[in-house]
Amino acid sequence: MAEGSEGAEGTTATEGKATEEGKGEGSEAPDHAAEVKRLTEALANERKRQEKAEKELADLRKLAMTEQERAVAEAKAEGKAEAIQTLARKLLEAEVRAQAAGKLADPADAARLLDLDDFLGDDGTYDAKAIGRALDELVVAKPYLAAGHTNGSGSAAKPPQGARDGGKQSEADDFIRGMVKGR
């Protein structure tokens, strides 16, 4: 039976535990804070030992690898890093477009006009607040890009529509239409 429990005399394990913890009559409370500190330090030391052992194991595995195995491992690591950077870049572009949606008339302009490398860290993370600040600065520097920008007459600015040169088609338009019809 557990220490402090005496099944034959009528006390239970729970009562015995309460007595051990100082909740019973006449016993002193143990110093829990000191015990927690001691165990925390012991855990930290064990983690350090484990990390050191894992590093040594990794080093030994590298030594045991053939040149070809090392080359394959390095290629895998490089490929993984490249894939992470590619995906991080796409995620960053999506974040920039999402934040620009309420600020710019064409959110895609933000991805083209901002240097996205300024926001992307080596580990694939980015600073969303810095993106917001950069978009605000872009709107101040180029107000004609802003969502709801007016063209001076009070109406929203719109890009030119239709054919240019007074409605005349360009030679390139004629060529393209001729190619399409000729199929």
pLDDT of residue 22: 47
Low-confidence ranges of the chain (pLDDT < 50): 1-26, 153-157, 160, 163, 165-167
Q: Which tens digits make up the pLDDT trace of 125-159?
A: 888 899 999 999 999 999 999 888 655 544 444 55
Confidence (pTM): 0.45
DSSP state letters, the chain: --TT--GGGT--HHHHHHHHTT-STT-PPP-HHHHHHHHHHHHHHHHHHHHHHHHHHHHHHHHHS-HHHHHHHHHHHHHHHHHHHHHHHHHHHHHHHHHHTTTBSSTHHHHHHS-GGGTB-TTS-B-HHHHHHHHHHHHHH-GGGBTT-B-SSSSBP----S-SSTTPPPHHHHHHHHHHHT-
